[in-house]
């Protein structure tokens, strides 16, 4: 303790007597940061040995130097601030360091621009859920050394003087902007980074640069002049959230998670399309492709911002359009982009708030509140096109079904506040909780919707935005990465007993492989959109797929527009071992032989 005091005093004396105390302090803190980082994040540095071509090493050393000077510039700016403001900035820096290291402990990387973009645009409870799924107390242990480095910056007295330090400060800011722009242009985001704070700053700049590069004009128009009568049928497009296809007993999962859907299939009302490949590993990407029909990865030409939406086509064909968005993921950004004006092609947009106004409490009823509303809506009339973005099974799973014994079929379950624990016991709880959620949010949702809908002239296309890892290979993240379990989603078509175009569904070939890229054209076919109105070459419709199509089913993860960190992968035919299969639990018990109540 005494020794530490003397050292701090010496440090203080040295730094204040040095000719440029703030530069010296920044240099010293940056150097300490440089030394502790490889100790703490040893595995990242070890993996660097793979890149040892001369050009690679030169490039790496350049980036390394550039980033080291960023740390110096940032610390220099902080050191000049007056006491209280500096303390505030340091507290914020500590918070960012905790977030960055939480990301790193869970996903083996710091936050990317896409992560930051999502964190800023998704709804509040998604943010809380993400933090809960990521949080590990161990993170504080990792944060501590970085905090000690930051505390060095408290030692020097404030140094800002006008105009004395104005020029060097501007120079430091300019350096941070220019060096980050260079990184944005030339260095992939996923490449190694040596400090959580400057990495975050880089991410923030990257977001800003990417936004400036984006497309902000109107979407392409559809040809007009169609004389479309209001159709007699209704079409419903249900995009679920975080539902893994292979956890549905409809897709041979050994637990009876979807008995109602299986009954519908037996009655010929449901055409199961098997395990579908989602377009992306998180909601934003998948919804962008599902709603605009784009088919190339990544979307570097901003087609998902330029294509007409599915609502535009529905309006064009005479449908009245309704969007039920209780997940607030993708179209919320469209609504924001429309400002106070209407979203083109959309007659009505309903959020959780609209349900509150109708006195439907979604906190209690979960997605079943939407199913009940939807059926009463369909019973009132015809000629609707309705898109539903469900809340589904977004983590935390325990919050997605009610607290009664009927809904807790598989036990033990996780607590709502628990983070993902990939151990055998943790995984058993995780999967039990998830399966209870599927039974409620998927099977019971359709049981209510189908049995309460008396107007039988409708067709419904169902899929999920992406699946979940369920810690199958020890992952402590639920989605966001390009693992094959994450793009494993359900897909089926469902119809009312008096659906006009049942023949279309009956004609679907057997043995087909479906991906999200087939959904848009399927909806256009169901609406009867003529070729002359289709302004893009969309993916093949499910109604036209043959067993020869989709030998490779592509998907992507990371930056939608290919700015920075992204990866494009595919599910090939024949597929990898384990594709499209989910295992309940691994505790030596044979789950298939257990009996379950199916009440
Ligand atoms: Zn999602």
Residue 305 has pLDDT above 60, yes or no: yes
Residues paired with residue 384 on neighbouring β-strands, in sequence order: 320
Name the residue with higher pLDDT: 273 or 226: 273
Question: Rounded distance, CA 444 to CA 495, Å?
Answer: 17
Q: What is the pLDDT of residue 43?
A: 79
Question: Rounded distance, CA 478 to CA 466, Å?
Answer: 10
Q: What is the pLDDT of residue 225?
A: 63
As given in the structure block, the two tokens for residue 170 are 């501007």
Q: Which residues contact 100 (CB under 8 A, 6 or more apart)?
A: 110, 111, 196, 197, 199, 200
State the CB neighbour count (10 A cutoff) for residue 9. 11
Find the 394 Cα to ligand 1 centroid distance in Å: 7
Would you say 296 and 509 are in contact if contact means Cβ atoms under 8 Å apart? no
Would you say 289 and 307 are in contact if contact means Cβ atoms under 8 Å apart? no
* Residue (of 286, 351, 363) closest to 325 by Cα position: 351
Strands 270-277 and 234-240: unpaired
Domains of the chain in start order, with CATH, are: 2-213 (no CATH), 234-400+458-584 (3.40.720.10)
Name the residue with higher pLDDT: 19 or 271: 271
Find the 375 Cα to ligand 1 centroid distance in Å: 24
180-204 burial, b at 16+ Cβ within 10 Å, e below that, comes to beebbeebebeebbbbbbbbbbbbb
Question: Which of 380-394, 400-414, 479-493, 578-592 has the weakest average pLDDT?
Answer: 578-592
* Residue (of 59, 33, 42, 191) closest to 112 by Cα position: 191
Question: Which of 118-132, 151-165, 310-324, 466-480 has the weakest average pLDDT?
Answer: 118-132
Q: Which residues contact 381 (CB under 8 A, 6 or more apart)?
A: 455
Mean pLDDT of 424-450: 97
Question: Rounded distance, CA 414 to CA 431, Å?
Answer: 9
Residue 597 has pLDDT above 70, yes or no: no
- Which tens digits make up the pLDDT trace of 139-187? 999 999 999 999 988 888 877 777 878 899 999 999 999 999 999 988 8
Question: Rounded distance, CA 392 to CA 441, Å?
Answer: 6
CA angle, residues 484, 482, 199, in degrees to nearest 5? 160
- Per the listing, tokens 């400057």 go with 198
CA angle, residues 29, 35, 36, in degrees to nearest 5? 90
Q: What is the pLDDT of residue 14?
A: 63
Find the 396 Cα to ligand 1 centroid distance in Å: 12
Provide the 3-class DSSP secondary structure of residue 481. Answer: coil
Question: Which of 117-121, 262-266, 488-492, 585-589 has the weakest average pLDDT?
Answer: 585-589
% of the chain with per-residue pLDDT over 90: 66
Find the 68 Cα to ligand 1 centroid distance in Å: 36
Question: Rounded distance, CA 244 to CA 438, Å?
Answer: 9
Find the 282 Cα to ligand 1 centroid distance in Å: 5
Find the 91 Cα to ligand 1 centroid distance in Å: 32
Would you say 101 and 145 are in contact if contact means Cβ atoms under 8 Å apart? no
Find the 77 Cα to ligand 1 centroid distance in Å: 39
Q: What is the pLDDT of residue 571?
A: 97
Find the 393 Cα to ligand 1 centroid distance in Å: 9
Would you say 255 and 585 are in contact if contact means Cβ atoms under 8 Å apart? no
Residue 51 has pLDDT above 80, yes or no: no
Name the residue with higher pLDDT: 389 or 5: 389
As given in the structure block, the two tokens for residue 547 are 């067993």
What Cα–Cα distance (Å) separates residue 22 from each residue in 29, 216, 443, 542?
Answer: 10, 43, 63, 65
Q: What is the pLDDT of residue 30?
A: 93
Find the 133 Cα to ligand 1 centroid distance in Å: 14
Find the 428 Cα to ligand 1 centroid distance in Å: 23
* Mean pLDDT score of the chain: 89
Residues paired with residue 276 on neighbouring β-strands, in sequence order: 489
What Cα–Cα distance (Å) separates residue 318 from each residue in 224, 225, 383?
Answer: 12, 12, 8
Mean pLDDT of 392-396: 92
Residue 590 has pLDDT above 80, yes or no: no
Length of the chain: 599
Q: Per residue, what are the HEC states of 230-267?
A: CCCCEEEEEEECCCCHHHCHHHCCCCCCCHHHHHHHHC
Find the 465 Cα to ligand 1 centroid distance in Å: 5
Question: Which of 265-269, 313-317, 473-477, 515-519 has the weakest average pLDDT?
Answer: 473-477
Mean pLDDT of 204-222: 90
Residue 591 has pLDDT above 80, yes or no: no
* Residue (of 233, 302, 258, 305) closest to 462 by Cα position: 258
Question: Rounded distance, CA 165 to CA 427, Å?
Answer: 56
Q: What is the pLDDT of residue 61?
A: 85
Find the 223 Cα to ligand 1 centroid distance in Å: 33
Question: Rounded distance, CA 554 to CA 181, Å?
Answer: 31
Residue 284 has pLDDT above 80, yes or no: yes
Find the 120 Cα to ligand 1 centroid distance in Å: 15
Mean pLDDT of 41-62: 75
Strands 348-350 and 488-495: unpaired
Task: Cis check for the bond before 193: say yes or no (omega within 30 of 0).
Answer: no
The pTM is what? 0.88
Q: What is the pLDDT of residue 107?
A: 80
- Which tens digits make up the pLDDT trace of 523-566? 999 999 999 999 999 999 999 999 999 999 999 999 999 987 89
Would you say 274 and 573 are in contact if contact means Cβ atoms under 8 Å apart? no
Q: What is the pLDDT of residue 187?
A: 83
Name the residue with higher pLDDT: 420 or 6: 420
Residue 6 has pLDDT above 60, yes or no: no
Question: Rounded distance, CA 402 to CA 435, Å?
Answer: 13
Find the 402 Cα to ligand 1 centroid distance in Å: 21
Find the 281 Cα to ligand 1 centroid distance in Å: 8
Residue 56 has pLDDT above 50, yes or no: yes
Q: What is the pLDDT of residue 15?
A: 63
Q: What is the pLDDT of residue 17?
A: 62
Task: Cis check for the bond before 361: say yes or no (omega within 30 of 0).
Answer: no
CA angle, residues 540, 542, 547, in degrees to nearest 5? 85
Find the 286 Cα to ligand 1 centroid distance in Å: 8
Question: Which of 188-197, 207-216, 301-310 has the weakest average pLDDT?
Answer: 188-197
Mean pLDDT of 117-125: 76
Would you say 592 and 570 are in contact if contact means Cβ atoms under 8 Å apart? no
Find the 242 Cα to ligand 1 centroid distance in Å: 5
Find the 82 Cα to ligand 1 centroid distance in Å: 43
Find the 126 Cα to ligand 1 centroid distance in Å: 9
Q: What is the pLDDT of residue 379?
A: 96
- Which tens digits make up the pLDDT trace of 352-374? 999 999 999 999 999 999 999 99
Residue 342 has pLDDT above 50, yes or no: yes
């Amino acid at each position: 303790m005494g020794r530490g005091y003397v050292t701090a005093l010496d440090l203080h004396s040295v730094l204040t007597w040095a000719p440029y105390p703030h530069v010296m302090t920044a240099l010293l803190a940056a150097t300490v940061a440089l030394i502790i980082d490889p100790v703490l994040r040893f595995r990242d540095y070890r993996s660097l040995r793979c890149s040892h071509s001369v050009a690679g090493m030169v490039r790496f050393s350049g980036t390394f130097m550039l980033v080291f000077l960023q740390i110096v510039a940032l610390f220099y700016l902080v050191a000049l601030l007056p006491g209280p403001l500096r303390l505030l900035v340091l507290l914020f820096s500590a918070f960012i360091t905790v977030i960055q290291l939480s990301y790193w402990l869970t996903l083996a990387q710091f936050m990317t621009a896409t992560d930051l973009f999502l964190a800023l645009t998704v709804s509040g409870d998604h943010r809380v859920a993400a933090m809960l799924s990521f949080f590990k107390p161990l993170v504080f242990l990792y944060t501590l050394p970085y905090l000690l480095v930051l505390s060095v910056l408290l030692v020097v007295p404030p140094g800002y003087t006008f105009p004395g330090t104005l020029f060097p400060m501007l120079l430091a800011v300019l350096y941070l902007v220019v060096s980050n722009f260079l990184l944005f242009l030339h260095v992939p985001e996923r490449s190694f980074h040596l400090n959580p704070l400057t990495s975050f700053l880089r991410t923030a700049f990257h977001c800003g640069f990417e936004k400036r590069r984006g497309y902000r004009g109107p979407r392409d128009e559809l040809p007009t002049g169609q004389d479309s009568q209001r159709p007699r049928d209704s079409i419903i497009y249900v995009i679920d959230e975080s539902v893994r296809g292979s956890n549905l007993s409809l897709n041979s999962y050994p637990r009876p998670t979807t008995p109602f859907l299986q009954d519908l299939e037996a009655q010929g009302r449901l055409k199961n399309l098997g395990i579908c490949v989602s377009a992306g590993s998180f909601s934003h990407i998948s919804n962008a492709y599902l709603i605009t029909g784009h088919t190339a990865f990544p979307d570097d030409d901003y087609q998902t911002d330029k294509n007409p939406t599915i609502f535009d086509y529905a309006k064009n064909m005479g449908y009245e359009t309704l969007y039920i968005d209780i997940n607030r993921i993708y179209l919320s950004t469209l609504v924001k982009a429309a400002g106070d004006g209407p979203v083109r092609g959309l007659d009505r947009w309903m959020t959780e708030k609209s349900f509150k106004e109708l006195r439907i409490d979604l906190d209690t009823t979960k997605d079943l509140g939407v199913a009940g509303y939807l059926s009463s809506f369909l019973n009132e009339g015809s000629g609707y096109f309705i898109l539903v973005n469900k809340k589904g099974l977004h983590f935390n799973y325990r919050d997605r079904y009610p607290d009664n014994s009927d809904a807790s079929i598989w036990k033990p379950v996780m607590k709502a506040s628990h983070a993902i624990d990939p151990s055998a016991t943790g995984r058993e709880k995780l999967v039990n909780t998830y399966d209870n959620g599927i039974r409620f949010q998927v099977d019971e949702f359709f049981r209510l919707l189908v049995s309460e809908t008396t107007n039988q002239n409708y067709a419904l296309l169902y899929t999920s935005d992406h699946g979940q890892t369920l810690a199958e290979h020890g992952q402590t993240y639920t989605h966001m990465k390009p693992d094959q379990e994450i793009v494993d989603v359900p897909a089926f078509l469902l119809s009312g007993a008096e659906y006009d175009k049942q023949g279309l569904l009956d004609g679907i070939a057997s043995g087909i492989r479906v991906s999200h890229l087939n959904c848009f054209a399927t909806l256009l076919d169901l609406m009867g959109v003529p070729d002359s109105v289709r302004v893009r070459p969309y993916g093949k419709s499910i109604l036209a797929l043959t067993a020869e199509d989709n030998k490779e089913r592509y998907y992507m993860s990371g930056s939608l527009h290919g700015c920075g960190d992204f990866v494009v992968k595919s599910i090939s035919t024949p597929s990898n071992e384990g594709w499209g299969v989910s295992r309940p639990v691994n505790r030596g018990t044979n789950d298939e032989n257990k009996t379950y109540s199916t009440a």
